[in-house]
């Protein structure tokens, strides 16, 4: 026999679902989100500028393979600051864009360093701007969440979030990110953080740690980035 607590929880969930459906219907009547979702902005499939990703080829190949693994919906990249997580994500994003079997929508967002900002709202506005959703100026956070949910719910999307310092409620932002929803659409979420605990608190099952590059790769990176291969190669002192 169900407890009074479970019945109350079920009632609250049902009530919340009714509210979200009502809000989605209202927003859909004001904006043509289906057209926006179908005719995705071309800039969502443009490669981003970034540093050359040296020595991370095995990790990149593993990430590409995970995008085809239906048992994995969320991937967490973690490692200390400055180790190369952002460079890895840029290379991964560009690789996904260039592949024929890419998702319907690729969204890439970098979170600000400011601890005092509303991370959910920052991410929400960033994604809405990328999708160019036709929202009114006075749209509330719930309005924006409903618009995002309506747009993405039937799409196979890839969400890449860089520089995540604290856990974030992606459902509140508007992403259809329940385990069942992600499996149904075969959508993927990839996030990068300095703190492995962020992955754990967001229930990320597949975690990948970015370690410091080995000496050979570090030297190749230094040659190409810091001084130029020809200059470094001509100096026996620098090679020593």
Structure tokens belonging to residue 33: 């989100």
Q: Averaged over 213-231, what is the pLDDT?
A: 54
pLDDT tens across 120-141, in order?
A: 999 999 999 999 888 877 889 9
Q: How confident is the model over 78-106, as a mean pLDDT?
A: 88
pLDDT digits (tens, 9 = 90+) for 200-215: 999 998 999 999 865 4
Residue with tokens 């740690």: 209
Q: Establish how many alpha carbons lie within 13 A of residue 140's alpha carbon, considering only the half-sphere containing its beta carbon.
A: 6
- pLDDT over 80 at 22, yes or no: no
3-state SS assignment for residue 221: helix
52: confidence class by pLDDT, cuts 50, 70, 90? confident
From CA 196, how far away is CA 80, in angstroms rounded? Answer: 10
Query: How far is 98 from 103, CA to CA, in rounded Å?
Result: 11
pLDDT at 188 over 60: yes
Q: In what order do the strands lie in the sheet with 74-78?
A: 105-110, 157-162, 188-193, 74-78, 206-209
- Other C-beta atoms closer than 10 Å to the C-beta of 212 total 13
Q: Is the dihedral of CA 111, 168, 96, 108 positive or negative?
A: negative
> For residue 187, what are its two tokens?
């959508």
């Amino acid at each position: 026999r169900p407890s009074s607590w479970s019945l109350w929880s079920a009632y609250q969930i049902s009530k919340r679902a009714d509210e979200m459906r009502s809000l989605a219907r209202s927003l859909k009547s004001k904006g043509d989100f289906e057209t926006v979702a179908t005719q995705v902005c071309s800039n969502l499939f443009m490669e981003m500028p970034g540093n050359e990703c040296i020595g991370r080829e095995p990790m990149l190949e593993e990430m590409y393979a995970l995008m085809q693994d239906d048992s994995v919906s969320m991937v967490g990249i973690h490692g200390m600051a400055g180790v190369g997580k952002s460079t890895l994500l840029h290379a991964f994003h560009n690789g996904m864009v260039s592949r024929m079997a890419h998702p319907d929508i690729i969204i890439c967002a970098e979170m600000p360093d400011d601890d005092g900002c509303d991370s959910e709202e920052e991410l929400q506005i960033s994604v809405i701007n990328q999708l160019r959703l036709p929202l009114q100026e006075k749209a509330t956070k719930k309005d924006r969440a409903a618009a995002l949910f309506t747009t993405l719910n039937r799409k196979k999307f890839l969400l890449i979030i860089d520089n995540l310092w604290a856990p974030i409620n992606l459902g509140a932002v508007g992403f259809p990110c329940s385990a069942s929803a992600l499996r149904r659409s075969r959508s993927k979420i990839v996030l990068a953080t300095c703190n492995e605990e962020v992955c754990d608190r967001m229930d990320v099952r597949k975690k990948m740690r970015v370690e410091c590059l080995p000496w050979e790769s570090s030297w190749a990176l230094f040659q190409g980035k810091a001084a130029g291969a020809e200059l470094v190669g001509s100096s026996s002192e620098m090679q020593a």
